Amino acid sequence: MSNDQPDPGVEENHLIAERRAKLAQWRAAMPAYPNGFRRDALAADLAATYAERDGAWLEANPVRVHVGGRMMFKRVMGKASFAKLVDRSGALQLFLQTGTLGAAYEAFKGYDVGDILGAEGPLFRTRTGELSVRVERLQLLAKALRPLPDKWHGLADTETRYRQRYVDLLMSEQSRELFRTRTRIVRYLRDALDALDFLEVETPMMQPIPGGAAARPFITHHNALDQKMYLRIAPELYLKRLIVGGLERVYEINRNFRNEGLSTRHNPEFTMLELYWAYSDFRELMELIERLMRGLCDGLYGQRVLKYQGRDYDFGQPFRRVTVADLVCEHNPGIDRARLRDVAYLREQCAALGIACQGGDGAGKLQMEIFEKTAEHLLLDPTFVYAYPAEVSPLSRANDADPFLTDRFEFFVAGRELANGFSELNDPEDQAARFRAQVARHEAGDQEAMHYDGDYIRALEYGMPPTAGLGIGIDRLVMLLTDAASIRDVLLFPHLRPET
C-alpha cells in the first residue's frame, strides 16, 4: 500500500471492534469468506413472478429459492426474526425462526446490518401479504466490519457520498438508479449512431500534440521514448484523420482531460461523444441533435417535457435557432449592430461590461466575450446558437457568404453548453494558416491556443470529403436528464481534494 494517503483502516471505534471480534470468532469455526453459495433467484424477479400468488397457493405449490444479498434490515423478536436482503434487483424479506434454524438462528442474532448473507427456503406470504422466504438454511458470506449509515436518513453528507461512493450506492436506490440511467443514455446514443451506420472507434488518449480544443492539457512523460506526452483534450483531429481514411462515419465516446478548475459543471476528466459525418453539414447536425434529444426523452421517461432543477424544459417543440450576433444585440440593447466588427468599439463595450480583454483579441473574440458574459447563461430553453466567428473557431469551415463567420453552432439548455458542432474545415491551406495564427497567439501568452499539427495538415492534403463534426458533453447531458445539480452527482468517482 502506498503512503500517499492516510490509511482509513486504522481509525477504529467500538462498533468496528465488536464486529471484528465477531469475525475472529467466526473465522475460528469455519472459512469466514466462503465462495460456494449460488443464487437461483433475484428479489425483483420473484416479486414479479409470484405477484398474483397468495399464501394458500404458495403453501400448496412450494417454491424453494436460494437468494443472496446485503442485509439492510434486521429485526429480532425473541424466537422469530425478520431481515431484508438487497440484491442488484431489489429487496426481499427473510423470515427466520429458532424452530427451523436451531443453532443457525443463534448465529443470525449475532449478524449485523450490512453483512452479506445467503439464504435458502420456500416462499410464503406474511400476515400482511409480503412475499418472504421462510429460511431453512442461512449462511454468512461476507462480514461487514464497518457500520452503515442511519437506515432512515441514509447518507446525507455530500462529501462522504462522493469520497465513498460505495457507501452511497449501497445505501441509496436513487443513486444506483441514476447511474443506471447514465448507462442507458450512453447506450441509446450508441444504438442510434450504430443504426445510422456510424462506426465506433478508439483513438489515442496520450497524444504527442494536444489538439482539437482550446484548453490546457495534462502533461506526462513516456520513459522508453523519452518523450513528452499529453492526455488528450479532444479526439477531434484523430477522428478526422479517419474520415480522410474513408471510414466516412465515425464516433467515439470516451474521456477527455482538461487541466482546469473544478466546479459544479467541470471535472478534470469528462466524457465526450464526438462524431464525424462525411457528406453532411452543421444543419444536419442540428437536426440530429433534435432527434436524439427527443429519442432520449421518449426512451427514458415517455414524455418530452422534463423538469430540471424546478423548471420545465420542452424538447418536443422545434429548438430555437439564433446567431451569436443576434444574441449579443438582443441582450445588449445599447450596442450598435453596425459596429459589431469594430475592434476599438467592442473594446469600449467590453470595458463598460467589466470584461478583461487581451491585447491580441480581435472582433470575433470580443463578440464571444460579450456573448458569454451577457447571453449564454440566459439560454434556458433548448437553443442552437450559430454563426460563430472564425477567430474562435480554428477548425471550422468558413461561411461561404461571410468568411468572418463559420458554419458552426453550439447547443444550449439551462444556460449550459451541451454540444458544439460545425461543418469541418477541410481546406489544408486554410487550416495551416489558422494553425499558424493559433501558434502566434500561443507565443503571445494564450495557454489555451492550439499547437501546429503537421501530420494533421498532411492528412488533409490527401483530401477530406466535406464533413460535419459534433461533440456532446455526456456528463452535462446526464445532469440534464437526471435533474442533477452538480457534475459530481453523475460521476461515479468525481475528483476531490485529497482527504486529510
Partner RNA sequence: GGGUCGGUAGCUCAGUCGGUAGAGCAGCGCCCUUUUAAGGCGUUGGUCGUGGGUUCGAGCCCCACCCGACCCA
Rounded least distance, CB 37 to RNA, Å: 23
3-state secondary structure 401-427: CCCCEECEEEEEECCEEEEEEEEECCC
Confirm or reject binding of residue 150 to RNA (CB under 7 A): yes
By CB under 7 A, how many residues form the interface with RNA?
A: 54
Rounded least distance, CB 49 to RNA, Å: 19
CA distance 309 to 480: 9
Residue of the chain from 122, 149, 295, 362 that contacts RNA (CB under 7 A) = 149
- Residue length of the chain: 500
112-131 positions binding RNA, by CB under 7 A: 112-113, 124, 126-128, 130
156-195 positions binding RNA, by CB under 7 A: 156-160, 162
Cβ atoms of 421 and 409 closer than 8 Å: yes
Cell 472564425, located at residue: 390
333-392 positions binding RNA, by CB under 7 A: 354, 373
Cβ atoms of 257 and 243 closer than 8 Å: no
Confirm or reject binding of residue 70 to RNA (CB under 7 A): no
The end-to-end CA distance of the chain, in Å, is: 17
Whose Cβ is closer to RNA: residue 89's or residue 399's? Answer: 89
Residue of the chain from 39, 50, 87, 97 that contacts RNA (CB under 7 A) = 97
CA distance 406 to 395: 9
Whole-number CA gyration radius for the chain: 29
Cβ atoms of 379 and 331 closer than 8 Å: no
Whose Cβ is closer to RNA: residue 11's or residue 52's? Answer: 11
Rounded least distance, CB 391 to RNA, Å: 21
Binding span for RNA by CB under 7 A among 271-279, 382-390, 475-483, 491-499: 491-499
Whose Cβ is closer to RNA: residue 156's or residue 401's? Answer: 156
Rounded least distance, CB 281 to RNA, Å: 34
Rounded least distance, CB 385 to RNA, Å: 19
263-282 positions binding RNA, by CB under 7 A: 263-264
Question: What secondary structure does DSSP assign to 214-264, as a single string?
Answer: SSPPPEEEETTTTEEEEE-S-SHHHHHHHHHTT--EEEEEEEEE-----BT
Rounded least distance, CB 122 to RNA, Å: 11
Whose Cβ is closer to RNA: residue 36's or residue 261's? Answer: 261
Residue of the chain from 44, 50, 122, 154 that contacts RNA (CB under 7 A) = 154
Whose Cβ is closer to RNA: residue 79's or residue 436's? Answer: 79
Rounded least distance, CB 32 to RNA, Å: 17
Residue of the chain from 51, 153, 221, 401 that contacts RNA (CB under 7 A) = 153
Rounded least distance, CB 368 to RNA, Å: 14
Side chain identity at 260, as an amino acid letter?
A: E
Please choose, from the candidates 303, 220, 223, 252, the residue with its C-alpha nearest in 3D space to the C-alpha of residue 481: 303
Would you tell me how many other CB atoms lie within 10 Å of the CB of residue 22? 18
CA distance 167 to 483: 21
CA distance 115 to 102: 20
Confirm or reject binding of residue 31 to RNA (CB under 7 A): no
CA distance 432 to 460: 10
Pairing of strands 199-200, 249-257: parallel
For binding to RNA (CB under 7 A), which residues are involved? 13-15, 18, 73-80, 82, 93, 95, 97-99, 110, 112-113, 124, 126-128, 130, 132, 147, 149-160, 162, 261, 263-264, 354, 373, 485-486, 488, 496-500
